[in-house]
């Protein structure tokens, strides 16, 4: 995990601070305060001295751009990282953020970006093949790859198919950037396989022994390519354990405020009542405040929510008064909380950073 600033494609980006300059900026109290003052003033569009979620939005988008993430809404993995950046600022609550809090979190994020050090919840990894080599030469290699081999179910599969599948099963912890990224597949894995495909074992039936031998050879080629062309990966891990919901439910004032805000966006019928079919929409609106991912972002979570919706007969087609609707929504949150406390859902996101410290970010342009 080397500093982000030594990444391969950051060479010709004069407009943007590099890692050591970021460190300097943050370490210089006077300079950083004036940097934060300017940023805060720009962001605080209604001039109430606090940043609302809406006002934080450009800052979060900027941080994403500075990390080299694709714009919000283009991939679930990067969206997870965006919502975690926002969570860093708000600590999952819907309260506005003061300048002091903004400064603390911003310096934390900037230092993390500059150092490329492991920090919670976003880690910037520079993958240069070293970790991969370490893995394939470790005592964990054989047992883990034997397990992978027996899990891969490709009756007609060639050795090539097996090896590609096996790469897909490796994690960033094992030194492999995510092969779900098309660039990793086309520029790292495929060329590496081509350069070692001349092996005579390639077309033979796949045995475990041949697989172990050939996969290691392929991984060595991948490690070599990574050494020549390191890949930067933004990695984050998040566990949904219901604690944010518990926090929200335990604060009646906050809960009421959240529910009322959400209900403003839920369509009503002519009499002002709320159709139960909109409970799902309402929950999605409360989700960020309850520390939940948006619907459709996480299969396991969607399944859990579906079960809970069934429990409260959300699909019976009835319309209810506002109070009843809020009561149902609170019940749903409580049920989701209990489920998550019993069996938390963990998600790991990896997003390849193609353009680190991109010019499109104004966050890191030096203060004038």
Cβ neighbours around 143 below 10 Å, total = 9
Nearer to Ca ion, 55 or 88 (CB): 55
The two structure tokens encoding residue 353? 């950073």
Shortest Å distance, C-beta 58 to Ca ion: 12
Shortest Å distance, C-beta 91 to Ca ion: 18
Shortest Å distance, C-beta 44 to Ca ion: 4
Shortest Å distance, C-beta 41 to Ca ion: 10
Shortest Å distance, C-beta 65 to Ca ion: 22
Shortest Å distance, C-beta 103 to Ca ion: 15
d(CA 11, CA 359): 12
CB 284 within 8 A of CB 312: no
Site membership for Ca ion, residue 228 (CB under 5 A)? no
Nearer to Ca ion, 48 or 120 (CB): 48
**With CB under 5 A, what is the number of residues at the site for Ca ion?**
4
Q: Tally the C-alpha atoms within 13 A of residue 127's C-alpha that lie toward its C-beta.
A: 29
For residue 279, the surrounding DSSP H or E stretch is helix 279-286
Nearer to Ca ion, 48 or 307 (CB): 48
Cα R_g (the chain), whole angstroms: 24
Shortest Å distance, C-beta 51 to Ca ion: 6
Pick out residues in 6-65 that bind Ca ion (CB under 5 A).
Answer: 44, 46, 48, 55
* C-alpha 347, offset from chain centre: 8
d(CA 267, CA 261): 13
Per-residue CA distances from 311 to 249, 278, 282, 319 (Å): 19, 15, 17, 17
Pick out residues in 160-219 that bind Ca ion (CB under 5 A).
Answer: none
Nearer to Ca ion, 41 or 186 (CB): 41
Cβ neighbours around 244 below 10 Å, total = 20
Nearer to Ca ion, 38 or 118 (CB): 38
DSSP string, 313-348: TTTS--EE-HHHHHHHHHHHHHHHHHHHHHS-EEEE
Nearer to Ca ion, 46 or 194 (CB): 46
d(CA 121, CA 364): 21
Give the footprint of Ca ion on this chain (CB under 5 A): 44, 46, 48, 55
């Amino acid at each position: 995990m080397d500093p982000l600033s030594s990444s391969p494609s950051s060479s010709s980006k004069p407009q943007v601070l590099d890692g050591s300059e970021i460190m300097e900026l943050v370490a210089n109290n006077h300079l950083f305060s004036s940097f934060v003052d300017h940023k805060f003033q720009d962001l605080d569009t209604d001039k109430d001295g606090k940043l609302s979620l809406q006002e934080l939005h450009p800052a979060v988008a900027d941080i994403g751009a500075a990390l080299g993430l694709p714009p919000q809404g283009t991939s679930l993995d990067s969206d997870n990282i965006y919502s975690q950046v926002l969570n860093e600022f708000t600590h999952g609550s819907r309260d506005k953020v003061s300048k002091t809090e903004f400064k603390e979190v911003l310096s934390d994020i900037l230092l993390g970006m500059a150092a490329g050090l492991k920090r919670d919840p976003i880690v910037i990894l520079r993958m240069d093949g070293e970790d991969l080599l370490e893995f394939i030469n470790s005592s964990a290699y054989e047992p883990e790859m034997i397990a992978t081999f027996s899990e891969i179910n490709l009756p007609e599969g060639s050795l090539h198919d097996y090896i590609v599948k096996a790469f897909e099963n490796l994690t960033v912890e094992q030194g492999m950037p995510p092969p779900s990224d098309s660039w990793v597949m086309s520029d790292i894995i495929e060329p590496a396989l081509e350069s070692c495909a001349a092996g005579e074992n390639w077309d033979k039936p796949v045995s475990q022994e041949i697989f172990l031998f050939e996969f290691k050879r392929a991984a060595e080629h991948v490690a070599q390519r990574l050494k020549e062309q390191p890949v930067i990966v933004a990695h984050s891990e998040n566990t949904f354990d219901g604690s944010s919901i518990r926090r929200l439910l335990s604060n009646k004032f906050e809960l009421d405020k959240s529910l009322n805000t959400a209900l403003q966006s839920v369509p009503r019928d002519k009499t002002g009542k709320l159709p139960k079919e909109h409970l799902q929409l309402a929950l999605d609106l409360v989700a960020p405040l309850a520390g939940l991912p948006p619907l459709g972002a996480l299969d396991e979570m969607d399944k859990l929510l579906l079960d809970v919706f069934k429990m409260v007969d959300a699909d019976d087609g009835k319309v209810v008064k506002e109070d009843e609707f809020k009561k149902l929504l609170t019940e749903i949150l409580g049920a989701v909380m209990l489920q998550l406390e019993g069996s938390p859902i963990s998600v790991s996101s990896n997003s390849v950073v193609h353009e680190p410290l991109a010019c499109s970010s104004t966050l890191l342009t030096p203060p004038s």
